[in-house]
Structure 1
Amino acid sequence: MYGMSYNKRLIAIFLTGLLCGFPLKAKGQKVVSTRVLGIINIDETGKALAYPGSIFYDKKSRQLYVVEPGKSKVIFYTPDYFPFLAVGKGYGVKDPVDIFVDSKGNFYLISSNEQKIYVLSSALILKKVIPVKGFKGDNDFVPTHVAVNPVTGEIYVTGAGKDFVVCFDENGKFTRFLYPEMKVEDIKVGSIVSNVGVDSLGRVYLVALDFGQVYVFDKDGTFLFKFGTHGANFGQLSQPSAVTIDEENRRIYVCDPMRQAVLAYDMNGNFLFEFGGRGWSPGWFNYPTDVAVDNRGDVIVTDWLNQRIQILKPEQNKPVHVETTMPSNRAE
């Protein structure tokens, strides 16, 4: 699977879910209502989005960045979510699959096919290219996601099917690995890391796909705590794909494509609520893959198979009683 393109790998995972059966919500569970504030479904040329991938919201510029892997570009959206620019080959970047913007406004774009990190200035001038190399096992390491520590400048890179995160210093020199691990009968067991996030204090959040949990480390790589319960039911994580931290509202959001949901936790990892469910109407998801939060605390979700991005406001004081697995519309 590692030699496949980004979209083909996602399709393979999705088909596996179909064959195994997507978990459904149990009758009578309570979820949180969401208000749909907007839906993004066009690129900078006015054409329909085609399977949007990773997203990043920069709170300084108040801009949203959406990766469209099939077209090898990153689309820039204004604070009111109007598409105005795309970055790709014309900027010296080949086949981007993920993007991160650091505190100085530099852009870090990962290319799986090239096994490189392209670093662009805030003026979109290519500053340097960092090969994802220099560590044991780098020959078959296919980079998928990137994050930059705002305190130390350390760069974190996940790899397709890998049970660790590769760490580089700000100059691109390999420094160490970070692992999510648990003990089973005194034997250490690892999990594929599907994504990585950071907060303003430099804490690092590793999304452990197999464990259905998120592992949190401090800026020095010391393990702090983990959260999330593995499972296919309400309030559990089946195969989480992304994490984002809303420090202003003291919430952590985790995206779970297999459960078609986004789950919310407090800053200590205590479960608060979830929203979503499989569907095609606004407020529903069809394989959500990434999540971000904007300046207003609204949640932005990549709705991959619906080929759109949704901007949603969870309303914790408005629980919805689910009586069927496929209600017509949960959004207001």
Structure 2
Amino acid sequence: MNSILKYLVSAFSSRCFISETSSLCFYSILSSSLKLIKLLLIIIGLLFLVPRGLYAQQSPYVSYIDSINEDEEGGKISFPSFIFAEQVMKEIYVIDSKARIIIYTSDFFPVFTLSKRNGIEAPLGLTVDAEGNMYVAQAPTKENPRYRISVFNARLQWEHDIYLKRSEIDESFIPSRLAVDKKGNLYIAGSYFSGVLVLDSKGQLLETISPEEEDRKAKVNNVTLDDTGRIYIVSEEEGRIYVYDENRKFLFKFGEKGGSTGKLSRPLAIGIDNSTGRMYVVDYMRHTISVYDKDGKYLSEFGGLGWGEGWFQYPRDLTVDSTGRILIADTFNNRIQVFQAKE
């Protein structure tokens, strides 16, 4: 039964969070279906998780400090799928299944929500540059039937949309994860495409970074930059992370595909602690966070399937803020869990 349930959750998440070309599936079917899956997960948890003990798997490199589960109006956040820690204003951005972006202070106080009235219709991921401009990857809607990158100024006012030229990329490419470097170049990943697109500040395609294995190009699903400009590209399919320097030259890769300790089953995102160089990778199917040193050496992992403090249920994203706090989108527990990195 566990294998069947994992298959259903995997298939659903891949189709409705990433691959679906209609916002109807993305948001209307999303809420009721996720609630049903969560109920099934709780039932399975009651049957099989109790003997595992009261405490989640611990790591010597982090400690649990808090959880975020409320929005600006005091309601509950719903199946958060994306989180981003902005480094200048120290704000935290969360995307949940209600098609909105909730902005929190560094003290986890919700201060503002962007929704349809602000030009946010179907957000998938975002990034913020050094000037405070926000770039949001959005799925198609009835009003806007194409995938696009919406650009907002530092006052969170919509400026314009960037549409990718289908003549330059594969028709199947769905932009969902973004990063921006110090020069204003935009990095776009998504939908298991064989590479990360690099656009200049005017939205013109500069190049495609395509990680390679021995006999093929790796399909990737996420991209992150650290404060030195290093580029980290995640491949869920390969169970690997590919690292490039600020000039987009390949440095090294790490990670091994698998379902046991020290391996990556379905890695979806990576966060980098700029003070220590440690890297944290969220594994959606193993419900864990794997910890690596700056050279990609595996150190430990924490978490596990459950609903208490330190447990996760199908986490989809994470980020590391300027103080070394690791914030994890614990999707099926309807919360953001916060951990503090240790020296």
Q: How does 1:68-217 map to 2 (within 5 A)?
A: 68=96, 70-113=97-140, 114-150=146-182, 152-183=183-214, 188-217=215-244
Helix, strand or coil for the counterpart of 1:190? coil
The amino acid of 2:178's aligned partner reads: V
Structure 1 132/45 Cα, relative in aligned 2: closer, same or farther at 3 Å? farther
**Farther off after superposition, 252-261 or 2-11:** 2-11
> 1:134 offset after TM fit, Å?
4.7
- Unaligned stretches of 5+ residues in structure 1: 317-332
Deviation at 1:314, TM superposition (A): 4.8
Distance 2:286 2:127 in 1: 26
TM (norm. structure 1) is 0.83
Deviations 1:276-330 (A, max 9, x none): 11110011000111111123212100000001101112558xxxxxxxxxxxxxx
Taking structure 2 as the reference length, the TM-score comes to 0.80
Could you tell me which of 87, 90, 97 is aligned with 1:62?
A: 90
- Matched-pair contact (CA < 8 Å) for 1:230–1:237: yes
Structure 1 CA distance, aligned partners of 2:91 and 2:220?
27
Once the 2 structures are TM-superposed, how far is the Cα of residue 149 of structure 1 from its aligned partner?
1.6
Deviation at 1:6, TM superposition (A): 4.5
Superposed, which structure 2 residues align to 1:282-293 within 5 Å?
Answer: 282-293=309-320
Q: Is the 8 A contact 1:88 1:96 kept in 2?
A: no
| Aligned CA distance change for structure 1 residues 169 and 134 (closer, same or farther; 3 Å) | farther
Q: How is 1:179-328 mapped onto 2 (pairs within 5 angstroms)?
A: 179-183=210-214, 188-314=215-341
Query: How big is the shift at 1:268?
Result: 1.3
Cα distance in 2 for partners of 1:251, 1:9 equals 34
Q: Which has the higher strand share?
A: 1
Take 2:313 and 2:259, find their aligned partners in 1: how far apart are those partners?
Answer: 16
Q: 2-side partners of 1:104 and 1:211: how far apart?
A: 35
**Residues 61-87 of structure 1, C-alpha deviation per residue, up to 9 Å, x if partnerless?**
11110012x322100001210111111
What is the distance in 1 between the residues matched to 2:208 and 2:137?
18
**How far does residue 31 in structure 1 lie from its aligned partner after superposition?**
4.6
SS in 1 for 2:328: strand
2:20/2:26 contact within 8 Å kept: no
Q: Residues 49 and 285 of structure 1: is their aligned pair in 2 closer, same or farther, counting only changes over 3 Å?
A: same
For 1:6 and 1:265, the matched residues in 2 are separated by 33
Contact 1:6 1:97 in 2 (8 A): no
The one-letter code matched in structure 1 to 2:67 is I
1:132 deviates by 2.4
CA distance in 2, matches of 1:6, 1:297: 33
Amino acid at match of 2:210: Y
Q: Give the letter for the 2:20 counterpart.
A: G
How far did residue 137 of structure 1 move? Answer: 3.9
CA distance in 1, matches of 2:123, 2:243: 27
CA contact (8 A) 1:275 1:314 kept: no
State the SS of the aligned residue for 1:225. Answer: strand
Deviation at 1:59, TM superposition (A): 2.2
In 2: Cα distance, 1:58 partner to 1:231 partner:
32
How big is the shift at 1:242?
Answer: 0.3
**Residue identity opposite 1:60 in structure 2:** V
**Cα offset for 1:9?**
8.9
Q: Name the structure 2 match of 1:45.
A: 73
Q: Check the 8 A contact 1:198/1:204 in 2, yes or no.
A: yes
Work out the CA distance in 2 between the residues paired with 1:191 and 1:40.
Answer: 35
Residues 32, 314 of structure 1: 8 Å contact kept: no
**Could you tell me whether the CA contact under 8 Å between 1:134 and 1:174 is conserved in 2?**
no
For residue 305 of structure 1, give the secondary structure of its aligned residue in structure 2.
Answer: helix
| Larger RCO (alpha carbons 8 Å, 6+ apart) | 1
The one-letter code matched in structure 2 to 1:125 is Q
RMSD: 2.8
SS of 2:117's equivalent in the other structure is helix
**CA contact 2:274–2:322 (8 Å) conserved in 1:** no
Per-residue deviation, residues 110-161 of structure 1 (Å, max 9, x unmatched): 10224111111111122221112254345432211111122x3221111213
Q: Give the structure 1 partner of residue 20 of structure 2.
A: 3
Aligned in 2, Cα 1:132/1:57: closer, same or farther, shift over 3 Å?
A: same
Structure 1 counterpart of 2:240, one-letter code: Q
> In the aligned structure 1, how far is the partner of 2:232 from the partner of 2:308?
31
Matched residues in 2 for 1:58 and 1:6: separation?
A: 26
Partner AA of 2:329 in structure 1: T
1-structure distance, mates of 2:58, 2:110: 32
